[in-house]
Amino acid sequence: AQTVTQSQPEMSVQEAETVTLSCTYDTSESDYYLFWYKQPPSRQMILVIRQEAYKQQNATENRFSVNFQKAAKSFSLKISDSQLGDAAMYFCAYRSDDAGGTSYGKLTFGQGTILTVHP
Amino acid sequence: DAGITQSPRHKVTETGTPVTLRCHQTENHRYMYWYRQDPGHGLRLIHYSYGVKDTDKGEVSDGYSVSRSKTEDFLLTLESATSSQTSVYFCAIRSFEGSEAFFGQGTRLTVV
């Protein structure tokens, strides 16, 4: 079974600065997807960014980027120019590749990291 | 808006009572999931469905059952609620292999 570990229960950053959230995972699979989800106080789960394991290029979405190290099984999220609206719980998640039709899209989540943004 | 609605949004119930949470979707998504969120554990999969009447267990299925008699509804039932089932419950939907999951707003359940 796959496991996802977020070792930072809480992180903080000053507005306009950069912060990196860590995530490691364990799997014996070669094809899979990794995600970062944001959960603000509203409780809504919002997809921030996704990475396909077969892609060597790190995914980027505006101020959000990842550092995907497949051999090290590491998947960190970098938030640049932090904004007050970035304050939330962030979850790292893993999903097996669906090509065989047997994984059913099940997600495995890390424990979460609470990000505080200071003005 | 992915057309997913959870009901109720909040519920307080007594130990030993049955509870049913409903997930309703409006866009004929094939896959539906129930997760629970607890501090220190993130979200964990309870049950999932890959079609009408096709369901299977997830990581933390003990004490829970599900039913999906039609595409749009996925029901999660706690036959006899316990305090350990106090949690926030999320439903998620997904269209097809490779697509992303969309989550409902969550249901906060408190068992007293």
- The Cα–Cα gap between A97 and A108 comes to 13
pLDDT tens digits, one per residue of A92-118: 999 998 766 678 899 999 999 999 999
Query: Which residues of A are less than 8 Å from B48 in CB distance?
Result: 104, 106
CA angle (A22, A39, A48) in 5-degree steps:
65
Cβ–Cβ pairs < 8 A, chains A and B: 51
Predicted confidence (pLDDT) at residue B69 exceeds the cutoff of 90: yes
Coil, strand, or helix at residue B2? coil
Mean pLDDT (chain A, rounded):
95
- The Cα–Cα gap between B72 and A37 comes to 25
- The Cα–Cα gap between B111 and B75 comes to 18
- The Cα–Cα gap between B67 and B48 comes to 10
- The Cα–Cα gap between B10 and A47 comes to 24
| B95: confidence class by pLDDT, cuts 50, 70, 90 | confident
pLDDT tens digits, one per residue of A26-37: 999 989 999 999
φ and ψ at B83, to 5 degrees?
-60, -30
Average pLDDT for residues A75-88, to the nearest whole number? Answer: 98
- The Cα–Cα gap between A108 and A102 comes to 15
Which residues face B74 on adjacent strands?
B23
Strands A113-118 and A10-14: what pairing?
parallel
Looking at chain B, the whole-number percentage of residues with pLDDT higher than 90 is 86
**Shortest CA gap B105–chain A (Å):** 5
* Other CB atoms within 10 Å distance of the CB of residue A35: 24
What DSSP character marks residue B53?
A: T
Q: Best interface-test mutation with B: which of A7, A10, A25, A45 has the largest number of B CBs within 10 A? A: A45
pLDDT tens digits, one per residue of B12-46: 999 999 999 999 999 889 999 999 999 999 999 99
Smallest CA-to-CA distance from B91 within A12, A100, A44 is with A44
Q: Tell whether A10 lies on the interface with B, counting CB pairs under 8 A.
A: no
